[in-house]
Amino acid sequence: MTPPLLPFMILAAIGFLASVGAHIASLLDLTLPGGKLVWLLHAGVFIVWFPAILLASRINRGRPQFEYWKSVLSGCPPWMRYAVCALFVYAIGNFAWFMATTGLQPPPIGDAPPSIVRGFSGHWLIFYGAAFAMLFSIYRNPALLKR
């Protein structure tokens, strides 16, 4: 029996698109409308990430750890697998840039400054993007769960 993936895939897609918007706005040094509401993206990661990881661990049961991403994303088209890899590399670079330019500042009071949003949104991109790709892989190839 295949778990209900579609609601989590939709949430992951919405979270990813909202993260792209927040990230672009932060790169343009724009304060986001809604102020602190941007932190809902931080909480939303857990809603889509836990089901994705639980299903991924089911797919990889008994497999070598180094094949983790290859097997989890095997139901995705090649461009999506490459996009997940590119997002991962970008998130690392974005985090390094964030630490070099912003450092460890005290938590903001009031609206989230663009520099802080940029640091977090890079992580949101990879978590929402990878969750969507993993769920899409299972949606497209439910036999992955039967291994």
pLDDT in tens, the chain (147 residues): 566 889 999 999 999 999 999 999 989 988 777 777 888 888 899 999 999 999 988 888 877 777 888 888 988 999 999 999 999 999 999 999 988 887 666 655 667 778 888 888 899 999 999 999 999 999 998 888 876
To the question of pTM greater than 0.95 for the whole model, the response is: no
Of 12, 14, 17, 42, nearest to 131 (Cα)? 12
pLDDT at 24: 93
Quote the pLDDT of residue 108.
59
Residues 124, 15 contacting (CB under 8 angstroms): yes
Q: Which pLDDT does position 107 carry in this prediction?
A: 56
Question: How much is the pLDDT for 115?
Answer: 81
d(C-alpha 103, C-alpha 55), whole Å: 36
Distance CA 5, CA 14 (A): 14
CA quadruple 91, 55, 140, 2: dihedral, nearest 10: -150
